[in-house]
Structure 1
């Protein structure tokens, strides 16, 4: 299958998160929690993109960010969000934005 590169809406502030190599049953839970990020910067995101193998699988509009209360992940952040099922970002290729970076989090237009 051939995927088109992500084309940005210049008003969107995007945070991409690599959530694994295989889509599992609860992609929202995989996407929303335990990220080692600057919470101030993350709060500016208008969209959080769930990335699997370089492709946008789902998009969420974050409503709130907080530090997790899970004792296994102290200092990491999580968000509550709403799925954006009508976005044009689903199915787009974001590999060009990551380059050779191993970091699972990538900010775009922020």
Structure 2
């Protein structure tokens, strides 16, 4: 049981875009690649917008190519959830690994990418 309350549906979360190929240079949109779980992850790392600005979130990483925002309610609408695990951090949970369920992992990553908006990019 988490020590944190369930996040409200209008809570905003930030996904740090840590690879250049996660951003479509032609459209300026987030690619689905930004929303795939890595092998040993159980959830997709996100930061809480109530605790850090997009710039502060980007500053947590050595190299960051953008910050994408999502609303928790939109994540829940596609059957996933966001679980807070520290004061400024949460995980998108319920995503399958590509190795286990490729089609479902691609479908959900695509839906998350469509819902997200880039709110910060380096100059």
Which structure carries more strand by proportion? 1
Pair in the same fold by TM > 0.5: no
Q: Which has the higher helix share?
A: 2
TMscore range, shorter length:
0.3 to 0.5
Q: TM-score normalized by structure 1?
A: 0.35
